[in-house]
Amino acid sequence: MSTKPTNSIDTFINPHPERNYEIRMDCPEFTCLCPLTGQPDFAQILVNYVPNELCVELKSLKMYLWHFRDRGAFHEAVTNEIASHLVETLKPRKLEVKAVFGRRGGIDTTIVVTHPDQ
């Protein structure tokens, strides 16, 4: 397993695909760059999903999120990109990605992406 940033997410077989259960992951140290100023943006990424056949391997998720560290990205774009990649990789029954970004210009921003769309 890599210890460097990567744009892929590893998975493992769901041990109980016959059951609906929720997996919640809290990633409090997400960073990316403001695409306009180049200054760092800090966020807490919360991922909740009901797995189908596959589950996320946690260290690979950490390395995946790390690859955004030096990229400029609007909050909305990066949150949707993470959600799309997870949906494509896992094909979950249900998924929510919530990004709670730190204050910028006196404004707190939270982006929530759901699958299937609600």
Active site members: 34, 41
Q: What is the pTM of this model?
A: 0.93
* CB-count burial class (<10 Å; 0-12, 13-18, 19+) for 116: exposed
Q: Vertex 28, ends 25 and 30: CA angle to 5°?
A: 105
CATH class of 21-115: alpha beta
Per-residue pLDDT reduced to its tens digit, 62-92: 999 999 999 999 999 999 999 999 999 999 9
Closest CA relative to residue 86, chosen from 11, 4, 3: 11
Count of C-beta atoms within a 10 Å radius of residue 85: 15
Look at residue 80 and give its three-state secondary structure: helix
**Residue spans per domain, the chain:** 21-115
